[in-house]
Amino acid sequence: MRDAGASADLVRQARGLQALFDGDAVGMAAGTGEVIEQANDELLRILGLGRADLDGGIRWPAITPPDQTERDAGAVDAVRRSGSILFQKDFLRPDGSRVPVLAAVAALRWDPYEWVAVVIDLSRQERLRHLAQSEAAIVSTLLRDAPIGFALIDLEMRFVRINQELAAMNGLSVAEHEGRPVFDVVPDLRADAEPLLRRVLDTGEPLRDVEIVGATPADPGTARTWIESFFPVRTAGGPTIGVAAVARDVTEVRRLEQELRATLGRQRQVLQDLQNSLLPPLPTIPGLDLAARYLGASQEIRLGGDWFDVFHAPDGRLVLAIGDVVGHGPTAVGLMARLSGAMRAHVADGRSPGQVLACLNQLLIGSLAPAMATASVLHLDLTTGVVEYAAAGHPYGLLQTPEGPVTLLNGAQGRALGATADSTYPVGRTTLEVGGTLLLYTDGLVERRGEDLDQGVDRLVAVVAHGRAGGAARLVRDVIEGSHTAVERDDDVCVLAAVRA
């Protein structure tokens, strides 16, 4: 009976060892001398080898780093003395990487030396240990040294941890925060912050860069502004157990931004007034309704080179002109003044629109510094409505008949002023009928980033076609609003409208 019981125990032990050998919890091996003759899949994974590598056996020295040869020899001596040993070592993989392991080796017999070993991969545990150390270091840094506020808040809306920065923002010590309800500490922030915290707890979704405004015990009665982010805190694979809050006090930044906006607004208005003062007032012309508008670029504070002018020629015709100097700043404004003054002088000499533009082109060609501009000049006979016009690289003017159709004044276009010395400028002719409209403008009205210029012109034509009533001032307002330049503009805008009554 004893023999039968002993046999049964051996069978159970053999089954248990076989189950361990077949599993992937530990590596297992058996061998003779320095050669591994049997190994399970987990040990082969640790070694970075395949089942075929076992065909000729795996030599123990080949998987041992050179700096651990003596250690392994000592382990064998220890096995001879006590029959088994537990020690830590590295295995060397074929790619040169090392895997830390814990090995238990036991001798089965000594002549020849046969042994079995159980190997545990420590690299996973090492990674977890290093990860835990890293996370602890990150949290420690946030709590001690981070220049932003940081807190951990539990499901009951209590402070679990808080760093020095956020504690100072609230005007209390770290110890006076921990364990206390958040809104007992900062009651003035409840209205803004509590719904956000509860939203993160309820949904498990983070909220980033939300603005919180209120007062804290650090400065009672004074509203401050924070940019805060809230992130759910979860256990590994588990539910949300709290919220991590990150806060930056941006009160001073907001104050400076407000002051800067106010300063920029004042500067922009001063420059706008200066620019408008450089443009001539519109004359009162019997039988002609005139309106004009200049708008500076909305995103930059700068003097522009857009201009318009309306005056009588010596022969009694009315001159309508518009131009755009390339560039901005005092240089562009100075050039604008020179061009508009020179244009009046050449008109006074009796030159046609094309001849005036040719003279202006020579003015720019002869300038010491390279300069370019675009312009359109029109002569309007107020008795007959006949219009003579010429353009130098400028957007086509629009003519609307009393019946409503809109056409482009595209019959007389030359190169931009200052482009080439031999530029010529043909003269086109049309008629502004009673009830008809002329519209001149600069490219800021129709140009948009990422959009073809023709699209802007088509949009402008559509606005003019639908704006047949209300006079010149109404038309100027409509085209500015219809081109989306009333609020945001990348460039200066100049518009001149004339309606023949």
Residue 260 within any structural domain of the chain:
no
In single-letter form, the type of residue at position 456 comes to G
Q: Is the pLDDT of residue 44 over 50?
A: yes
Q: State how beta strands 413-414 and 373-380 pair.
A: unpaired
- Please state, in angstroms and rounded to a whole number, the distance separating the CA atoms of residues 326 and 379: 25
Q: Do 348 and 283 share a domain, yes or no? A: yes
Q: Do 373 and 475 share a domain, yes or no? A: yes
Q: State how beta strands 413-414 and 386-392 pair.
A: parallel
Quick: pLDDT tens for 279-330.
Answer: 788 999 999 999 999 887 645 545 667 889 999 999 999 999 999 988 766 6
Q: Do 453 and 367 share a domain, yes or no? A: yes
Q: Is the pLDDT of residue 440 over 60?
A: yes
- Please state, in angstroms and rounded to a whole number, the distance separating the CA atoms of residues 501 and 499: 6
Q: Tell me the mean pLDDT in the region 420-429.
A: 94
Q: Is the pLDDT of residue 120 over 90?
A: no
Q: Is the pLDDT of residue 427 over 80?
A: yes
Average pLDDT over the chain reads 86
Q: Tell me the mean pLDDT in the region 383-409.
A: 93
Identify the band that residue 264 occupies on the pLDDT scale cut at 50, 70 and 90. Answer: confident
pLDDT at 469: 67
Q: Which of 241-250, 363-372, 398-407, 429-438 has the lowest mean pLDDT?
A: 363-372
Using the 3D structure, point to which of 249, 275, 299 is the last residue of a domain: 249
Q: Do 379 and 484 share a domain, yes or no? A: yes
Q: Domain of 89: which CATH number?
A: 3.30.450.20
Q: In this predicted model, which residue has the larger pLDDT, 73 or 21?
A: 73
- Please state, in angstroms and rounded to a whole number, the distance separating the CA atoms of residues 404 and 270: 39
Residue 165 within any structural domain of the chain:
yes
Using the 3D structure, point to which of 223, 249, 275 is the last residue of a domain: 249
Quick: pLDDT tens for 13-38.
Answer: 567 567 778 877 789 999 999 999 99
Q: In this predicted model, which residue has the larger pLDDT, 434 or 3?
A: 434
Identify the band that residue 187 occupies on the pLDDT scale cut at 50, 70 and 90. Answer: very high
Q: Do 305 and 174 share a domain, yes or no? A: no
Identify the band that residue 1 occupies on the pLDDT scale cut at 50, 70 and 90. Answer: very low
All residues at 6 or more sequence positions from 321 whose CB lies less than 8 Å from its CB, including other chains: 308, 309, 310, 340, 343, 375, 376, 377, 378
Q: Do 164 and 19 share a domain, yes or no? A: no
Q: Is the pLDDT of residue 126 over 60?
A: no
Q: Tell me the mean pLDDT in the region 261-269.
A: 75
Task: Give the DSSP H/E element, type plus range, for residue 432.
Answer: none
Q: Write the DSSP assignment of 50-107 as a string of letters.
A: -GGGGTT-EEGGGGS-GGGHHHHHHHHHHHHHHSEEEEEEEEEPTTS-EEEEEEEEEE
pLDDT at 8: 64
The three-class DSSP label of residue 303 is: coil
Q: Do 309 and 438 share a domain, yes or no? A: yes
Residue 126 within any structural domain of the chain:
no
Q: Do 217 and 307 share a domain, yes or no? A: no
Q: Do 81 and 111 share a domain, yes or no? A: yes
Q: Is the pLDDT of residue 4 over 70?
A: no
- Please state, in angstroms and rounded to a whole number, the distance separating the CA atoms of residues 60 and 177: 59
Residue 220 within any structural domain of the chain:
yes
Q: Do 371 and 330 share a domain, yes or no? A: yes
- Please state, in angstroms and rounded to a whole number, the distance separating the CA atoms of residues 104 and 222: 68
Residue 191 within any structural domain of the chain:
yes
pLDDT at 438: 95
Query: Which residues form the domain of 428?
Result: 267-500
Q: Tell me the mean pLDDT in the region 261-281.
A: 71
Using the 3D structure, point to which of 121, 153, 181 is the last residue of a domain: 121
Quick: pLDDT tens for 331-346.
Answer: 777 788 888 889 999 9
pLDDT at 158: 93
Q: Is the pLDDT of residue 133 over 70?
A: no
Read off the pTM: 0.51
DSSP state for residue 481 in the 8-state scheme: H
pLDDT at 481: 87
pLDDT at 321: 95
Task: Specify which of 120-129, 261-270, 432-441, 487-496 reaches the highest per-range mean pLDDT.
Answer: 432-441
**Residue 325 tokens, joined:** 């100097």
Q: State how beta strands 240-249 and 224-234 pair.
A: antiparallel
Q: Domain of 292: which CATH number?
A: 3.60.40.10
Task: Note whether 363 and 342 are within 8 A (CB).
Answer: yes
Q: Tell me the mean pLDDT in the region 87-109.
A: 90
Residue 458 within any structural domain of the chain:
yes
Q: Do 222 and 165 share a domain, yes or no? A: yes
Q: Is the pLDDT of residue 74 over 80?
A: yes
Q: Is 183 exposed, middle or buried (0-12, 13-18, 19+ CB in 10 A)?
A: middle
Residue 130 within any structural domain of the chain:
no
What's the structural domain count of the chain? Answer: 3
**Residue 470 tokens, joined:** 């209300």
Q: Which of 99-113, 137-151, 200-214, 417-431 has the lowest mean pLDDT?
A: 137-151
pLDDT at 234: 83
Q: Do 346 and 489 share a domain, yes or no? A: yes
Question: Please, which residues bridge with residue 207 across strands?
Answer: 230
- Please state, in angstroms and rounded to a whole number, the distance separating the CA atoms of residues 465 and 467: 6
Q: Is the pLDDT of residue 2 over 60?
A: no
